[in-house]
Amino acid sequence: MGSLWSEGHSSSILCVGASPGPEGLIASGAEGGEVTVWTQEGAVVGRLALPGQEDVTSAAFSPAASAHLYVSHGDGVSVFDPRNLKGPVEDFRSAGEEEINAVALNETGSNVAVADDSGAVRILEIPGGKVCRSLRRHTNICSSVAFRPHRPNNLVSVGLDMQVILWGLQKNRPLWTLNLQDAAEEAGDQQRPGQLFNPPLAHCVSVSGCGNVLGCAAEDGRVHLMRIGGGSKLEQHGAVKAHTQGASQAHFISFLSHPHWMVTGGNDGLVALWDLSKHPVVNPEGKTQTTAPQRRKGKSSRRRREQTTSGPKLSISHGDKVNWLCPAVLKGEPSVIVADQSTNLTVYPLSQL
């Protein structure tokens, strides 16, 4: 069912990024400092080995300039021209306090956020890479970071301290923090006898295209969902039991019929596609999703809902632990690109929907 993209790497692929646009390129990063750029058919455009041979942990194209590819390795970020992959156009050394786990760009490409092992999130100005903000609240590794669409002053970060933090960048402070462990206990999650308990360490965060729903893949196998209401308050939170082992990846998809399609991947080797438009966190009134519902001002409701009835619309037994998922339209076909423990990428079509 999936097609294999091979001969781009000699070590395990850790991350994948897709350039916007119908002719957009794909970039992947691997252990040992390998960066590879691909066409939409899976042909290698360019390969590069970074001098320090540090693992490439994240790769992201600028939404505003597809000729700028941002790659994190060690505590630095390098910027490449993906069509001329010879050396970096810019190098931001010590962009992170410690090793960087993820990079994210805002909608205009004027800021890059980096999440690192110290728990810090730093915001870099583009061009130049000057650190303009340092956000410190995580008490363990910060694993993932994302800007909130349509809200340039909002950023979300998650970490191995099980915290989800929505930041207000105007004052460089958290607008709210959700502890996923507390949320699970509040929901009455009970550990069955003999069940191996995995705490909800947060691995990956994504924001829906409407900007109002967060999804976070966690070690407890769930994708934790949060809806943001008026005044950027946390209005509701809940979860989808998505994987039998840790969920490593969760990404909202921008190119399907509505903004609340999500693809997830886990240590159980499954890749799953979810329609979350009727989930009570996403759509509390249970109406057909067209526009975001109007909410009364006032105290936010922080109830938690768990979806147990509706399963994924598509479930793929990939078979290997998922390192990264990248939704992309490849030659007009909605697809998901999967990186695992191997040296190959696998592409699965989503078009049967």
**DSSP calls for 217-228:** EETTSEEEEEEE
* pLDDT tens digits for range 223-261: 999 999 999 999 999 999 999 999 999 999 999 999 999
Q: What is the pTM of this model?
A: 0.92
Number of other residues whose CB lies within 10 A of the CB of residue 283: 18
Q: Is residue 231 packed enough to be buried (19+ CB in 10 Å), middle (13-18) or exposed (0-12)?
A: exposed
pLDDT band at 203 (very low <50, low <70, confident <90, very high): very high
* pLDDT tens digits for range 145-174: 999 999 999 999 999 999 999 999 999 999
State the Cα–Cα distance between residues 196 and 275, nearest whole angstrom.
29
Contact 3/41 with Cβ under 8 angstroms?
A: no
Domain ranges of the chain: 3-283+309-349
Query: Tokens 């990428």 label which residue?
Result: 345
Better pLDDT: 345 or 310 = 345
Percent above pLDDT 90 for the chain:
84
State the Cα–Cα distance between residues 68 and 342, nearest whole angstrom.
27
| Mean pLDDT of the residues in the chain | 91
Share of the chain residues as helix, strand and coil, in percent rounded to the nearest 5: 5, 50, 50
Contact 16/59 with Cβ under 8 angstroms?
A: yes
Query: Tokens 């300039």 label which residue?
Result: 65
- What pLDDT, on a 0 to 100 scale, did the predictor assign at position 287? 61
Q: What is the DSSP letter of 77?
A: E
Report the amino acid identity of residue 118.
Answer: S
- State the CATH class of domain 3-283+309-349: mainly beta
State the Cα–Cα distance between residues 331 and 347, nearest whole angstrom.
12
Residue-by-residue DSSP string for 211-257: SSEEEEEETTSEEEEEEE-GGG-EEEEEEEE--SS-EEEEEE-SSSS
Contact 279/249 with Cβ under 8 angstroms?
A: no
Mean pLDDT to the nearest integer, 49-55? 95
- Give the contacts of 229 (CB within 8 A, at least 6 positions apart): 212, 235, 295, 300
State the Cα–Cα distance between residues 63 and 155, nearest whole angstrom.
16
Token pair in block for residue 267: 């240590």
Number of other residues whose CB lies within 10 A of the CB of residue 210: 17
Closest CA to 264 of 329, 192, 312, 309: 312
Closest CA to 209 of 26, 22, 63, 24: 63
Phi, then psi, of 182 in degrees rounded to 5: -65, -40
- What pLDDT, on a 0 to 100 scale, did the predictor assign at position 307? 45
- What pLDDT, on a 0 to 100 scale, did the predictor assign at position 292? 40
pLDDT at 328 over 90: yes
